[in-house]
Amino acid sequence: MSDRPDHEAVPPAKREERLERDNYRCQYCGEKGTAEGGFATLEIHHKTREPEDMDVHDLENLITACRSCHSWHHQQTTDEEVPVDLSEADLSELLPHDLNIIKVLAEIGPASTGEIAEAMTTDNSLMTVRLRLYVLMGLDNIVDSRESQLVDQDADSGKWGLPDQIARSERGRIPEEPQALLQRAEEEQVRQALERGCSRETIGEVIGVTPRTTWDKEKRANAYDFPLEAVSRTGGTGDDAGSRSPSVETTQETDQQELETVAAMSDGGSGDGSTEPAEDTNDDESHAAVTRSDDVSVTAEISTAISALQTVEEALSGD
């Protein structure tokens, strides 16, 4: 039994009912309690101490949290403590972790993912911190009323900072490394398909990933804002594309065909949000040098994906 006051105050019957409703899992991080074969010590947290139109111990005012997340919740940074203006729309998309990250960057940025995690007031894995950095970097692509990003990444060092701390932004840059280019292009295709109402299951089938992985790709796409239309069939880039890129066999027209194909495969509903995925890459690591033979591999992979999508489109058209 925890010695946390709001945990002890919950009547045992209400505590057990809330645990059952939450499937004996922490509702912040998803860790299982011992009743479900996990190792987390579960506690019951009051969402607010002064709820309106309900008792303080009403089930709707209670939520299951592991000891670590419960502690984090009570130590969280508030929006009054961060050096940026946040609207209600911004806050609706952010977690308390995010406010802590912004505060840390204001104090020590630019900083690596590891440095940020170490400076935070609660324990967070590098994966968790990195995923939240993507959200902060891409918030202006999520919240319509936000005109600028909250966080940026330096294209040279890979470190994170507030926008005025970054010398050269990674956002909108076309990577020279073929595999990085392919990854950014695919992430942007996923984002555009989701915006058109395609389900995560359908997108996953088309590009060969699990629906869980599309969450990560969408976060990264929002963060990096890759200029898909700037990559031309001849290998050139648009005037505002930033760095030069390898030759990749894709154009704005074929991108549109791909998205229309995925949209045609969808029944119109977006996929339900299963657990958000673990991150696939470590963007703090530098990439090795590559040869032009890698360009051919990238071109082949993208061409294969386009061909698969066009085949599906033709099949659907014939129905």
Q: What is the pLDDT of residues 179-193, one digit of tens each?
A: 999 999 999 999 999
Q: What is the pLDDT of residue 210?
A: 92
In tens, the pLDDT along 219-241 reads 999 999 999 887 644 344 444 44
Q: In the chain, what are the domains?
A: 5-75 (no CATH), 81-165 (1.10.10.10), 178-317 (no CATH)
Give the residue among 203, 192, 184, 181 at the shortest CA–CA distance from 308: 203
Which residues partner with 154 through β-bridges?
A: 169
Minimum mean pLDDT range among 10-19, 33-42, 266-275: 266-275
Share of the chain above pLDDT 70, in %: 66
Residue 279 burial (CB < 10 Å; 0-12/13-18/19+)? Answer: buried
Q: Does the pLDDT of residue 54 top 80, yes or no?
A: yes
How large is the average pLDDT for residues 207-214?
Answer: 91
Q: Which residue matches tokens 């696939």?
A: 280
Confidence of residue 256 (pLDDT cuts 50, 70, 90): very low
Taking the C-alpha atoms of residue 149 and residue 93, their distance in angstroms, rounded to an integer, is 13
Q: What contacts 207, CB < 8 A, 6 or more positions away?
A: 186, 189, 190, 305
Q: What values do phi and psi take at 32, rounded to 5?
A: -85, 145
Lowest mean pLDDT among 108-122, 151-165, 204-218, 269-283: 269-283
| pLDDT value, residue 284 | 45
Give 185: exposed, middle or buried? Use CB within 10 Å, 0-12, 13-18, 19+: buried
User: Is it the case that residue 57 has pLDDT exceeding 60?
Assistant: yes
Q: Model's pTM, two decimal places?
A: 0.59
pLDDT digits (tens, 9 = 90+) for 265-300: 444 443 333 333 334 444 444 433 333 444 445 455
Residue 289: how many CB atoms within 10 A of its CB? 8
pLDDT for residue 270: 38
Q: How confident is the model at residue 122 (pLDDT cuts 50, 70, 90)?
A: confident
Please report the pLDDT score of residue 51 as a whole number: 84
How high is the pLDDT of residue 173?
95
Q: How confident is the model at residue 6 (pLDDT cuts 50, 70, 90)?
A: very low
